[in-house]
């Protein structure tokens, strides 16, 4: 090959372990490919080993990075990844290079997924920005040009609204979070779904509206990610950017920024 040929970019696994679901992807050259999503509760050692071994056979990688908010599966993931690719994963930490500063008073308390969202948003979008990650919990993270990560807001996710109603009432049943087109319900289940959808959209809209006022910015970038983001954003009046790969991309970006660091547990 000629001297002008470009080196093949490193391919790594990027894994976002959430409370309810775990997202997996392959990161190379600033892009996410080969996505997968599984319930976190299903990450038994045999199952994750089988899944990752199959990925490695079809799409070999040389490294891995993990952001996790589920400590119970961290040991399983570390052992499995080290066995399959020969090196333990890089665990996301607040004291790594993230592409932006942390002016938050207790940075060690920031979730690893939120650090990944920070790194991804700084690399992809104009600041100031608010990243809204809509999952089991919903986080609003504020990123400013000079201060970097300045703080955030944590609220319940949309599914928790339905879970709470079923748990705390005698007659309301457990209901899955599925789309509803009707303006009002003609069954208990439909009424609960509509209440969760519109009530949740109203909460997201009000929090973002208040942040826009407090930050005195008419050019605030609103970015949304997470498993329920598309469902919640449909019909919203605010100018959201929907970025389903933001967290995985941010994990890959942190790996690049810290490529020479020793992987952590």
Determine the length of the chain.
265
Query: Is the CB of residue 155 less than 8 Å from the CB of residue 199?
Result: no
Chain position carrying tokens 């079923």: 166
Q: Judge whether residue 9 has pLDDT over 60.
A: yes
d(CA 122, CA 118): 6
Proportion of the chain in helix, strand, coil states, percent, rounded to 5? 40, 25, 35
Q: pLDDT tens digit string along 139-195? A: 999 999 888 999 999 998 887 777 777 787 877 778 777 777 777 877 888 888 878
227-265 pLDDT, tens digit each? 888 888 887 888 899 999 999 999 999 999 998 665 555
pTM for the model stands at 0.89
Kindly report, residue by residue over 196-218, the tens digit of the pLDDT.
788 888 889 999 999 988 887 67
- Over residues 63-94, the pLDDT tens digits come to 999 999 999 999 999 999 999 999 999 999 99
So what's the pLDDT on residue 261? 60
Terminus-to-terminus CA distance in the chain, angstroms? 40
Does the pLDDT value for residue 1 go beyond 50?
A: no
pLDDT for the residue numbered 228: 84
Residue 265 pLDDT: 52
Which token pair is 77? 């993931």
Give the tens place of pLDDT for each residue, 58-68. 889 999 999 99
Q: How confident is the model at residue 30 (pLDDT cuts 50, 70, 90)?
A: very high
Superfamily of domain 12-91: ATPase, nucleotide binding domain (3.30.420.40)
Q: Which CATH class is domain 126-246?
A: alpha beta
Among residues 16, 113, 141, 245, the one annotated as catalytic is: 113
Relative orientation angle of helices 45-58 and 74-85, to the nearest 10 degrees? 30
Average pLDDT score over residue span 5-24 = 83
Structure-block tokens of residue 112: 């690893």
| pLDDT of 28 higher than 90 | yes
Specify whether 113 is catalytic. yes
CATH 3.30.420.40 range(s) for the chain read 12-91, 126-246
Q: How confident is the model at residue 17 (pLDDT cuts 50, 70, 90)?
A: very high
Q: Is the peptide bond before 128 cis (omega within 30 degrees of 0)?
A: yes
CA distance 251 to 92: 7
Confidence of residue 4 (pLDDT cuts 50, 70, 90): low
């Amino acid at each position: 090959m000629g001297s002008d040929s470009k080196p093949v970019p490193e391919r790594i696994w990027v894994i976002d372990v959430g409370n309810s679901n775990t997202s997996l992807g392959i990161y190379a050259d600033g892009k996410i490919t080969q996505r997968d999503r599984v319930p976190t509760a299903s990450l038994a050692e045999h199952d994750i080993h089988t899944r990752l071994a199959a990925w490695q056979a079809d799409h070999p990688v040389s490294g891995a990075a993990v952001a996790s908010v589920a400590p119970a599966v961290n040991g399983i993931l570390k052992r499995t990844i080290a066995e399959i690719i020969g090196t333990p994963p890089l665990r996301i930490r607040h004291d790594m290079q993230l592409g932006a500063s942390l002016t938050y008073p207790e940075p060690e308390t920031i979730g690893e997924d939120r650090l990944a969202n920070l790194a991804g948003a700084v690399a992809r979008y104009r600041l100031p920005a608010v990243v809204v990650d809509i999952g089991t919990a919903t986080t609003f993270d504020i990123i400013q040009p000079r201060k970097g990560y300045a703080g955030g807001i944590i609220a319940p996710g949309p599914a928790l609204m339905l879970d709470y109603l079923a748990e705390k009432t005698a007659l309301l049943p457990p209901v899955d979070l599925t789309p509803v087109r009707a303006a009002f319900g003609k069954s208990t289940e439909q009424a609960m779904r509509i209440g969760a959808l519109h009530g949740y959209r109203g909460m997201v809209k009000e929090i973002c509206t208040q942040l826009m006022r407090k930050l005195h910015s008419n050019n605030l970038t609103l970015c949304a990610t997470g498993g329920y983001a598309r469902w919640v954003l449909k019909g919203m009046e605010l100018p959201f950017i929907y970025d389903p790969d933001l967290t995985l991309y941010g994990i890959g970006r942190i790996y690049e920024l810290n490529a020479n660091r020793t992987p952590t547990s």
